[in-house]
A and B are shown apart, each in its own frame.
Chain A
Amino acid sequence: MHNETFVPTLATIEDIRQETPDIRSLRIVLDDEGFRQNFTFKHGQFCLISVFGAGEAVFCLASPPLWKDFVEITVKEVGKVTSAIHDLEVGDKVGFRGPYGNSFPFEENFGRNIVFVGGGIGIAPLRPLIWQTLAERHKFKDVYIIYGARSVSDLVYKEDLRKWASRDDIKLTTTVDPGGEDEAWQGEVGLVPQILEKVSPPTDSVLVTCGPLVMMKFVFLSARKLGFDPNDVITTLEMKMKCGVGTCGRCNIGNKYVCRDGPVFRLAEMEKLPNEF
């Protein structure tokens, strides 16, 4: 193995799941045996995936570290690299760099209620933490998951949602935007922040959220309204990235580099940063 900062290691696509019309999840296996066996990461970290010729793009590691031998990423098609990823097939090679960034607090929340609030593909970075929390379920009080998307067909991780719905130790609420429901829909209809206020989880909980920027802004407002401490509201941010390691100068919000100092931030920290995200 080389030790060049920006040269990825090769990996092979082992499985592809089409989540929605424009989102797919890929299961990726690192080719280098030694690297694979020593590979670990923390929930909340991200990686850079290369499609050689198209370029490199940033994705959160969307499977929990406790699933060994592979990682999953979930990709929404928005441009050059993400379209190239959508053209890949099982067996194709990609480049992998990572893991990078900080991670969600975990142990410090033992004994507390945890509320996950996700919107659209924004549940991807929460997924490793959700599975990790469920694996150590007895260490937490109540676990809430509030997840919404524009329409029923835009909900990702339907298999996970089924598993979570069937457990009685999770309070799962799914919702779709008004007009996004179909005849079979049994969940809520309404925007995620409204549903959060309706569910109204106890405010001594830890709230972990990710979704489209507009949704997050309203989730923060709702969390404030419900009385959450901004130290207990945790999110993961997206900024344009290239290097992933804090040197290309691109992803900063004030003096914080989202790639190196983030992507996970507490609302209390964000409130101290300039409003540039």
Chain B
Amino acid sequence: MKQLQEILSAIGSWQAKGYQVIAPVRRDNLILLARIEDPSLINLDHILTVNTLKDFMLPRCETILRFDLEKACVEPGIDDSLPTIIFGSRPCDAAALSILDSILIGDVVDSRYAKRRGQTVVLTVACSRVDGACFCKSMGYGPHDPTGSDIILLPSQGGYLVRLISEKGRQFASDVGLEPDDAEADPEPELSRRVSTDGLKAWLDSNFEDPKWQVISENCVSCGTCYYLCPTCHCFDIADEAGISRGVRLRIWDCCSFSSFTKMASHQPRVGKYARYRQRVMHKFKYTVDNIGKVACVGDGRCIRYCPYGVDITEILKALVSGG
């Protein structure tokens, strides 16, 4: 078993080896994952950070290419990927990365994402507390689940046990001299929120047209908050920003709740807020299952915590499968 202080004090030496460290820090009254210089600022009091790991692997806005028309020159945006340690994110966020990996590093490889992922070691600090919005267990994960982590620290009697999960994690641990422990961890905290997914996929498979879609999406205002804070949502837009002859092409997060998302000159296939909300639910709980065999939800609960109108995905899933 190790004391947190021991691990935190090693972080400076990881940085000295050339790793950038991303960890939870307090910014005003929010706890956010951010690149840190000073490890003493790391804050592990949080249940969950507001932002997710996609901020660092698939940034909100990134330059895909730069062009200079006068010089007839087009070059890829700079490669900003660095050896990176993610320290102190939670198991649900690591699990979300494993879902993004299946989508973005598949038959087609998203080169910018893949480069960052290849250089990133995810060192998760498992949860000793949960809140009423967490429902990771219902999605097949849990407060101590190692999916997507390279190394996980499990709480044990006031300290932490180091578990090496992936080859990358073992490599990193041996590089920096982090020894694994095999003592028993504290029991996982209990989650009060549960939603059964029994019958959900079968219902979605056969109820694309159902009056319930109108009802369950009534409170949503299509603001996109749940998309931006979701650790698995990855839809993006590509757009140019240019002066007279020079400019950049950007990749920017986009959101299927916006009507512009599918609007074409010839037609708009997704008319109405309910159709866009249905896309969101279908994408997460049916289409991704059909395509990669996983639900695109890890039960982190951010969409429940931060929706300004109280839209609650677990209530919606229950309403969809319930009779009547």
Contact = CB atoms under 8 A, between A and B. Distances in A.
A89 to B, nearest CB: 14
Given A240-B264, A252-B283, A5 B112 contact: yes
A107 interface: no
Interface in B101-115: 103-104, 106-112
A54 B249 CA distance: 10
Nearest to A276: B269
A55 B108 contact: no
B151 interface: no
A247 B110 contact: yes
A220 B218 CA distance: 35
Given A7-B64, A238-B264, A54 B112 contact: no
B116 to A, nearest CB: 13
Contacts of A55: 238-240, 249
Contacts of B234: 247, 249
Nearest to A80: B240
B110 A5 contact: yes
A10 B72 contact: yes
Given A52-B242, A255-B291, A3 B236 contact: no
A167 B306 CA distance: 67
Contacts of B186: none
B240 A276 contact: no
Given A246-B108, A249-B234, A6 B262 contact: no
A54 B67 CA distance: 12
B238 A242 contact: yes
User: How big is the B interface, by class?
Assistant: 35 or more
B129 interface: no
B108 A249 contact: no
Interface in B228-252: 234-240, 242, 247, 249, 251
A260 B291 CA distance: 12
Nearest to B65: A7
Nearest to A95: B74
Given A4-B111, A240-B262, A54 B240 contact: yes
Interface string B293-318: 00000000000000000000000000
Contacts of A253: 269
A5 B240 contact: no
Interface string A1-23: 01111111010000000000000
How many residues of A sit at the interface, in one of the four size bands?
35 or more
Contacts of B189: none
Contacts, number: 119
B266 A213 contact: yes
B208 A274 contact: yes
Interface string A76-99: 001100000000000001010000
Nearest to A8: B74
Nearest to B287: A255
A248 B64 CA distance: 14
Contacts of A4: 64-65, 76, 111-112
B108 A52 contact: no
B111 A5 contact: yes
B267 interface: yes
A240 B256 CA distance: 12
Given A249-B283, A255-B290, A276-B269, A240 B236 contact: no
22 contacts: A4-B65, A5-B108, A5-B112, A6-B238, A6-B249, A7-B76, A52-B67, A55-B238, A55-B240, A95-B74, A213-B267, A242-B238, A243-B238, A246-B106, A248-B236, A248-B238, A252-B283, A252-B287, A255-B286, A255-B287, A274-B208, A276-B208
Given A54-B240, A239-B269, A274-B209, 16 more contacts: A5-B108, A7-B76, A53-B67, A79-B265, A93-B72, A238-B266, A243-B236, A246-B107, A247-B234, A249-B256, A250-B235, A250-B254, A254-B282, A255-B290, A255-B291, A260-B108
Interface of A: 2-8, 10, 50, 52-56, 78-79, 93, 95, 212-213, 238-240, 242-243, 245-250, 252-255, 260, 274-277
- Which 8 residue pairs across A and B have the least CB separation, nearest first? A249-B235, A53-B242, A78-B265, A255-B290, A255-B287, A274-B208, A52-B67, A245-B108
